[in-house]
C-alpha cells in the first residue's frame, strides 16, 4: 500500500453515497456540518460554493470541489440566493432528485454531489492538513483519470443498470483517490516554501521512507534503515523527517502501527495474535500494553465498543 491509499483506508467508515442534482432557475442549498467529507462536481452550467469560512468560489463545467473537514457549506446559483437545508434519506442514503417543474426546459445546472463517512478519531495528517476547500478547476491538461471517474459515476447514477450499486461504491472510492492525488501532485510546485505533508511527499528521502514503512509496518525498522531508503545518514534523515512529518520516524511508525491495529480491530474478525503481528509485535501482551497506552482502552474493549 502507498501512503495516500493507506491514509484514506485508515479513516474510511461505511459506504459513501452520492447523487445527481438538477437545478432550475434561482436555487440555493445548505449542507450541514458532518463527520464526513463532501464533494461536488459541476457537470453542466455553473454554481457558487459558499464555504463556512472564506469567500465564495465560482464553479464552472467540469470543476471539482472537495471539502475534507465536514464543515457546513452552501451551493447556489448566485452568492445572495436563499439556502434550503439538504438532508439525507431516513436510511442514510442520498435522496433521489426531485422531479422537474411541470413543463420545465433542460436544467440550468447539473451537479454530481456526494459524501464519504470518515472516522476522525485517527485522522491522518495527510488529510487533516488539506485546506478548507480543495478546488480542482477544469482546464486543459487536467488529470484524465479524474475526469474519467466523474463521467463513469455520472453515467451509472443516471442509468441505474444492474450492478450499479456496487459499481457506484467502487467509483466513489476511486474518485476520492483521484481528487486527492490531483491535489497532492499539484502542490509540490510550492513545496519548497511549505512544511507539512506537501513537502514531505515531495521530498525524495522522506517520501521513500514513508512508502517503505507503510509497505511493511511490521518490520522492526531502525532510523538508519529508513534513512538509507533515501540515501541519507541517520542524523540527517531524522532531522528532515521530523521537520516535515511533525514527529520523529519511529514515533510516526508507532502511531501508524496503532492506527492500522485499530482499523483491523474495527473491521476484521482476526485473532488478537494476528493483529499484534501485523502491528509489528511478537507478544500479545506487549501489543495490548502499547495499544492501551495509545487508545486508553484494551484492544478487546476497543473492538467491542466499535461493533
User: Which residues are CB-contacts of 171 (< 8 A; sequence separation ≥ 6)?
Assistant: 149, 152, 153, 156
Q: Which residue has the cell 506487549?
A: 286
Mean of all residue pLDDT scores within the chain: 86
Short-list 110, 201, 192, CA closest to 158: 110
Distance of CA 288 to the CA centre of its chain: 29
Sheet order of strands, 28-31 included: 57-59, 47-50, 73-76, 28-31, 84-85
Q: Residue 243: exposed, middle, or buried by beta-carbon count in 10 A (0-12, 13-18, 19+)?
A: middle
- 109 and 23 Cβ atoms separated by less than 8 Å: yes
Distance CA 92, CA 272 (A): 32
Nearest to 127 by CA among 197, 206, 203, 71: 197
Distance CA 68, CA 133 (A): 7
Q: Rounded to an integer, what distance in angstroms lies between the CA atom of residue 146 and that of residue 187? A: 16
Residues of the chain with pLDDT under 50: 189, 191-193
- The DSSP secondary-structure symbol of 103 reads T
Sign, CA torsion 57/59/65/69: positive
Residues 6+ apart with CB under 8 A from 192: 199
Q: Considering only CA atoms, which of 147, 204, 231, 224 is closest in space to residue 181? A: 147
Question: What would the grid cell of residue 175 be?
Answer: 474518485
Q: Kindly state the percentage of the chain with pLDDT values over 90.
A: 43
The answer to whether the pTM exceeds 0.75 is: yes
pLDDT score, position 191: 46
The full set of domains in the chain, from first to last, is 3-189 (2.60.120.280), 203-307 (1.10.10.60)
The Cα–Cα gap between 256 and 250 comes to 10
**CA–CA distance, 122 with 213 (Å, rounded to integer):** 18
For residue 239, give the C-alpha cell.
532531522
Q: What are phi and psi of 45, to 5 degrees?
A: 85, -145
pLDDT score of 192: 46
- Is the CB of residue 47 less than 8 Å from the CB of residue 22? no
DSSP-derived letter for residue 260 is: H
Cβ of 63: how many Cβ atoms within 10 Å? 22
Amino acid at each position: 500500500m502507498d501512503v495516500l491509499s493507506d491514509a484514506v483506508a485508515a479513516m474510511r467508515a461505511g459506504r459513501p453515497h452520492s447523487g445527481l442534482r438538477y437545478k432550475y432557475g434561482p436555487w440555493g442549498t445548505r449542507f450541514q456540518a458532518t463527520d464526513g467529507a463532501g464533494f461536488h462536481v459541476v457537470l453542466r452550467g455553473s454554481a457558487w460554493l459558499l464555504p463556512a469560512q472564506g469567500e465564495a468560489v465560482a464553479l464552472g463545467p467540469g470543476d471539482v470541489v472537495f471539502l475534507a473537514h465536514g464543515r457546513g457549506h452552501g451551493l447556489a446559483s448566485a452568492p445572495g440566493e436563499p439556502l434550503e437545508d439538504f438532508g439525507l434519506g431516513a436510511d442514510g442514503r442520498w435522496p433521489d432528485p426531485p422531479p422537474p417543474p411541470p413543463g420545465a426546459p433542460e436544467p440550468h445546472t447539473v451537479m454530481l454531489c456526494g459524501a464519504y463517512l470518515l472516522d476522525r478519531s485517527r485522522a491522518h495528517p495527510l488529510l487533516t492538513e488539506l485546506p478548507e476547500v480543495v478546488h480542482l478547476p477544469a482546464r486543459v491538461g487536467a488529470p484524465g483519470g479524474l475526469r474519467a471517474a466523474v463521467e463513469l459515476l455520472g453515467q451509472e447514477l443516471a442509468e441505474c443498470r444492474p450492478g450499479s450499486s456496487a459499481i457506484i461504491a467502487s467509483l466513489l472510492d476511486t474518485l476520492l483517490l483521484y481528487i486527492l492525488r490531483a491535489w497532492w501532485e499539484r502542490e509540490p510546485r510550492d513545496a519548497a516554501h511549505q512544511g507539512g505533508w506537501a513537502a514531505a511527499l515531495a521530498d525524495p528521502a522522506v517520501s521513500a521512507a514513508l512508502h517503505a514503512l507503510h509497505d511493511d509496518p511490521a518490520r522492526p525498522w531502525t532510523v538508519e534503515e529508513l534513512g538509507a531508503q533515501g540515501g541519507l545518514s541517520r542524523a540527517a534523515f531524522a532531522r528532515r523527517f521530523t521537520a516535515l512529518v511533525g514527529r520523529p520516524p519511529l514515533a510516526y511508525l508507532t502511531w501508524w502501527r496503532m492506527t492500522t491495529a485499530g482499523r483491523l480491530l474495527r473491521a476484521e474478525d482476526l485473532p488478537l495474535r494476528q493483529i499484534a503481528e501485523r502491528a509489528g509485535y511478537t507478544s500479545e501482551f506487549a501489543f495490548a500494553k502499547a495499544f492501551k497506552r495509545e487508545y486508553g482502552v484494551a484492544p478487546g474493549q476497543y473492538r467491542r465498543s466499535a461493533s
